[in-house]
Chains A and B, each alone.
Chain A
């Protein structure tokens, strides 16, 4: 009904305020472009960090004398350990086969299997690895460390430098997360500020509209539509540029660079849809909400 009128008003405003409208669109374009590049980078970095962290494991070696009943008991015990996730049993034969394949010449020399039965425990969260180790090797009354079950020979971290991996990846994840949050906040503020400036330049106009009897919503709708249009146009241009960069530049390179190929990032289409939606929503809502201050006449 009124939509036609409001849309025409919005278009008129865009045309008559070409410079501020263009500035607002350019702002949306640049911010969407930035986010469109940065979000996959953050995701790839976080993904890589998580991949490294998932290699943090606890190996529980059984004594050579351990029986099947012992193994069964230890398995139950490990599964009940707090913070422990998956518990994987690797028999001495399986371990022997795997290691022989990895280092054939050494194992040929050895001749017989020196490896114990092993349980490999994945912590629910990589950071809990110390807790699990502590639980499995409590402090004995005499001061040293014992194991929680007599059948357990040794408890070891699978990687030598788990703690280094953990702290390094934690720093990486934290920084990229922080950067991403800052960038999103900065983008919203930038777009909001551009909108506020363009509204401020038109506050007299808004005042006049009120004085001749326009209701708040009668004034607001064209501004909201204008914001939606600015967001949509700026966002679409940015998405188009990102698509060109992705399909024309990155995809052909993907086969040559393992880093590009290995990254697990959000589906491109989904990311673009989210960014475009956010651009439209921030711009439209921003216009509608910023207007409130100027409607008090």
Chain B
């Protein structure tokens, strides 16, 4: 819980970046007291989609009036068939695209208010696992993961500490010096996860992190995401894999043709913690 609050505060802090670049006279005492006098309620949503539409220039409809809210510490599945708009949601969240209509807020901050110059700083607070991995082809596994730290201005020592850790966690310790084209699909996906999480972002978005993987490797990656979620990170996973989603009993948001057609917040949705092993058993369909 404490971890969750810390994360939420970091997302909120990134909002203050804007205030800093456009200086507003804030009394020092008030600024210092802010985190204490107004503690961020755990209920403050991390993601708000309010009637968001995205129409691509080609006439394709990516999203058509979608609304949903995700709270800190949640583990949410985004499901739907091919072309339903899952990736569109993810890409809107990292401001790769702008919505045609509607409002998106992350940690209370309206994304349309983020200026172009602030976008990189905003993105550093979101870990994103891309459907097509998007690894840098000219860098080794280690350097790919390190790049996410380098962009934030991390020093060499911090990189030497954090990168091997996250690579051990993702089971890549033996592939540190391989280039992406020397890795299997599942290994590349793990590198993508490692890069997305090496900064310990308060929000992790994973677009089909298990697409094209065998069931056992998929379970490994889902377990990894679950472990990350347990450190307090809000995790959103887009997937086609209905079976796995049904077995996991987490919150599911289903989109179809750009609309939210199912959002199971309650019901069989589990809140209590399980160990990672129990979670894995759940995924394999063995009831823990």
Contacts and interface: CB of A to CB of B under 8 A. Distances in A.
Interface centre among B130, B134, B135 (most CB of A within 10 A): B134
A213 interface: yes
A211 B135 contact: no
B94 A211 contact: yes
Interface centre among A5, A13, A218 (most CB of B within 10 A): A218
* Interface residue range, chain A: 20 to 34
A5 B150 contact: yes
Contacts of A167: none
Interface in B121-153: 121, 123-124, 128, 130, 134-139, 147-148, 150-153
B136 A208 contact: yes
Given A213-B124, A215-B120, A297-B96, A208 B151 contact: no
A12 B151 contact: no
Interface string A1-37: 0100100000011001100000000000000000000
B86 interface: no
A259 interface: no
Contact of A214 (B96, B130, B139, B151): B151
Nearest to A296: B116
A130 B135 CA distance: 74
Contacts, number: 49
Contacts of B259: none
Contacts of B120: 210, 213-216, 218
A109 interface: no
Interface centre among B124, B130, B138 (most CB of A within 10 A): B138
Nearest to B143: A12
B147 A212 contact: yes
A205 interface: yes
A209 interface: yes
B138 A213 contact: no
By secondary structure, the A interface counts as: helix
Given A211-B94, A211-B128, A214-B151, A12 B123 contact: no
Contacts of B135: 208
B138 A212 contact: no
Contacts of B94: 211
Contacts of A297: 96
A2 B156 CA distance: 11
A4 B152 CA distance: 16
A216 B116 CA distance: 10
B195 interface: yes
A17 B128 contact: no
Contacts of B139: 12
B123 A211 contact: yes
B86 to A, nearest CB: 17
A213 B96 contact: no
What 3 A-B pairs have minimum CB-CB distances, sorted nearest first? A213-B124, A213-B123, A16-B138
Interface of A: 2, 5, 12-13, 16-17, 204-205, 207-216, 218, 297
23 contacts: A2-B153, A5-B150, A12-B139, A16-B138, A207-B134, A208-B134, A208-B135, A208-B136, A210-B120, A211-B94, A211-B96, A211-B128, A211-B130, A212-B123, A213-B120, A213-B121, A213-B124, A213-B151, A213-B152, A215-B117, A215-B120, A216-B120, A218-B120
